[in-house]
Amino acid sequence: MNPPLTQQDAQPLSTSAIISEMLLASKHASDLILSPYQAPHARLNGHLVQLKIPSVEKFSPADTARIAADMIGANPLAQQRLKEEGSCDVSYSIPALARLRVNVFSQRGTYAIVMRSIPTNIPDIASLNLPLQFAQIAELKTGVVLVTGSTGSGKSSTLAALLNLINETKACHIVTIEDPIEFSHSHKKSIIHQRELHSDTPRFDLALRAALRQSPDVILVGEMRDKETIEIVLEAAETGHLVLSTLHTIDASSTLERIIGVFPLGDQQAIRNRFAKSFRYIISQRLIPRKDNCGRVAVLEILKATLRTQQYILKGENQGKTLLDAMRDGTTEGMQHFDGEIERLIREGVIDFDTGMNFATNPGNLRLEMADFVEDKPPACAPTRSNEVELEIER
């Protein structure tokens, strides 16, 4: 049985005070982890480290249950989801310090909590050092733009920067559906409305269907999780909207497989047709540790809609006719692929050879391409503006 989520036990420090101490003890951490019978932990530059804070040596099950109750608060949908499904997502803010995306889950009869730190300042295209193609994406009027990658690869920061550019440059109506709301956008040239799962709507598909009746120009869907959401995203793009969303896939090919694969075999060709016509960009991201040990650098793969890529999606990939082949040949059209970008960063001394191979899509081929390469010693770490940028994008 899980412990009740009560706030009856007196504690020396409030939830906000404990989280504040953790944040101050782990500046630039991307994640905070609270686990029963364990000391506080944080993820720094991809590595899990133990924190030493005065208020907590180790968390008890009562501690994590109380903190979970404080963070969930009077959110009946989140409470119900935690009870029925064993986990829930909420947002939590500490004024003037941080905003956090929180996942509370039950494990071995207790509650554990993982928090993702969200920058209070919305990043922009320049500060994240994103490719020039992003300015072109902001000019799109219709279609689907997907940002994909593993958890913690910087998808949210990239989408926030893109949405901010649209907000600053175009007079349009933007509706977001998020789980939970991460970056809080203000009205600029555009009008932007942000809806949060469980607080404002029970499901992505219901909120997305409603958004079509809310006169939007741009719709951001936090994640395309299921068949119903994917169908409505395609419908929205086909009816003249620009839809931005994410998937937890590692590259363009696996993104296409995930989208097609959720549908029955009899429907898959029709979905191929619709997606080939609707998609505009698939942007995949990986964060790779820097050679100077000063954080991580974002590496992006970009697939753009062209006659060639649309045909490969429509007819399926074959030997010599793959999306990767199209990206390799499409540099003049604004496309790039992971291994090409990794090779560039290795040759520029940003990442080391072995690390690059570990993150490569095809390390065997990349080794052959770099047969002439001789690695230099890593430079000394020095704080730079680019390091600050990297620490923001990983969130």
Provide the pLDDT for residue 321: 92
| Dist. CA 200–CA 178, nearest whole Å | 10
Q: Which residue has the higher pLDDT, 98 or 31?
A: 31
pLDDT at position 388 is 39
Residue 119, pLDDT score: 74
pLDDT over 70, % of the chain: 92
State the chain's mean pLDDT as an integer. Answer: 89
Together in a domain, 142 and 94: no
Q: What are phi and psi of 360, to 5 degrees?
A: -70, 150
The whole-number pLDDT of residue 379 equals 60
Domain assignment present for residue 2? The answer is no
Shared domain for 193 and 83, answered yes or no, is no
CATH number of the domain bearing residue 37:
3.30.450.90
Residues 254 and 108 in one domain: no
Residues 296 and 375 in one domain: yes
Peptide bond into 180 cis (omega under 30): yes
Query: If we measure between CA atoms, which residue out of 233, 118, 95, 114 comes closest to residue 185?
Result: 118
Domain final position from 85, 118, 151: 118
Do 199 and 289 lie in one domain? The reply is: yes
**Cβ pair 291, 347 in contact under 8 A:** no
Query: Closest Cα to residue 283, out of 126, 137, 120?
Result: 137
Residues 6+ apart with CB under 8 A from 213: none
Tokens read off for 54:
């005065």
- Domain of residue 103 covers 15-118
The most distant pair of C-alpha atoms in the chain lies apart, rounded to whole Å, by 66
Q: Are residues 255 and 373 in the same domain?
A: yes
Residue 295: pLDDT band (50, 70, 90) is confident
Domain boundary at 118, 152, 181, which?
Answer: 118
Write the CATH number for 306.
3.40.50.300
The answer to whether residue 10 sits within a structural domain is: no
- CA 36, 38, 44, 46 torsion: positive or negative? negative
Contact 223, 246 (CB under 8 A): yes
Quick: pLDDT tens for 354-370. Answer: 999 999 999 999 999 99
Amino acid at position 98, single letter: A
Lowest mean pLDDT across 40-54, 93-107, 109-123, 365-379: 365-379
| Residue tagged 């000391």 (tokens) | 39
Indicate whether 128 belongs to any domain.
no
DSSP 329-391: H-GGGT-B-HHHHHHHHHHTTSS-HHHHHHH-SSHHHHHHHTTT--PPPPPPP---HHHHHHH
Residues 158 and 292 in one domain: yes
Same domain assignment for residues 52 and 145? no
Domain for residue 7, yes or no?
no
- Residue 176 has a pLDDT of 97
Same domain, 95 and 183: no
Residue 282: predicted pLDDT = 98
Classified as helix, coil or strand, 265 is: helix
What is the three-class DSSP state of 288? strand
Give me the number of domains the chain comprises. 2
Q: Do residues 380 and 340 share a domain?
A: yes
Q: What DSSP state is assigned to residue 318?
A: B
pTM: 0.80
Task: Please report whether residue 303 resides in a domain.
Answer: yes
Residue-by-residue DSSP string for 198-216: TTTBS-HHHHHHHHTTS--
Q: Is residue 124 part of a domain?
A: no
Mean pLDDT, rounded, for 22-29:
85
Pick the closest to residue 342 from 329, 354, 356 (CA basis).
356
pLDDT at 391: 38
Are 206 and 181 members of one domain? Answer: yes
Task: For residues 334 and 281, give the distance between their C-alpha atoms in angstroms, rounded to a whole number.
Answer: 10
Residue 123 lies in a domain: no
65 has pLDDT over 70: yes
Residue type, 176: T
CB atoms near residue 355 (< 10 Å): 16
Q: Which among 281, 280, 166, 181 is positioned nearest to 221, based on CA atoms? A: 181
75 contact partners, CB below 8 Å, separation of at least 6: 90, 198, 199
In a domain, 126, yes or no: no
CA pair distance 249, 259, nearest whole angstrom:
10
Could you tell me where the DSSP H helices lie in the chain? 15-25, 61-72, 76-85, 133-138, 155-169, 204-211, 227-238, 252-261, 265-278, 307-315, 323-329, 338-347, 353-359, 363-369, 385-393
Distance, in Å, from the CA atom of 309 to the CA atom of 317, rounded to the nearest integer, reads 10
Given a cut of 80, whether residue 284 has pLDDT beyond it is yes
Q: Write out pLDDT tens, residues 79-105.
A: 998 999 999 988 898 887 888 889 999
Domain boundary residue among 56, 89, 118?
Answer: 118
Residues 70 and 113 both lie in one domain: yes
